[in-house]
Amino acid sequence: MEGKAEAKGQRGKSEGERQIERLLRRCGLVYHYEPPLAVVDRGKVRLWHPDFFLPEYGIVIEYAGLNGEEYEAGLRHKEAVYQEMGIPAIFLRPESFRGYWPARLLGEIEEVERRRYEKLVRVLKSFRR
């Protein structure tokens, strides 16, 4: 499912997901809600369904709205798998929505892009010498 700024109706299952979706639409960012994403998890290819995927940036946004040791362990595992796969992932929690959270989320997306650009510049410089 693809979302765009002009899309009608929200699909988020929780208030946190609906807030994220509203922001993505307001900014005109293309996103997919709970798309299938192949990852290698414990040596096996699995299909995960991250809350949001921004295809133009290759970034996953996950809303972590629950508590508990098992849930937290699952989040740490998920974060490690995304990192091993080279998939930038932003995790938001209920407390993430305090203050002017849209600027923080957009800043995190910008930071991912900045790091990618800097890496590309280093690679290009090594070939131009």
- For residue range 5-45, what is the model confidence (pLDDT) as tens digits? 334 455 668 999 999 999 999 999 999 999 999 999 999 99
What residue ranges define each of the domains in the chain, with the CATH number in brackets?
2-128 (3.40.960.10)
Cα separation of 76 and 83, whole Å? 10
Q: Cα 109 to the chain's mean position, in Å?
A: 8
The tokens for 17 are 């997901």
DSSP 111: H
**Nearest 5°: CA angle at 63, between 59 and 66?**
150
Cα separation of 110 and 62, whole Å? 17
Give the percent of the chain with pLDDT over 70: 90
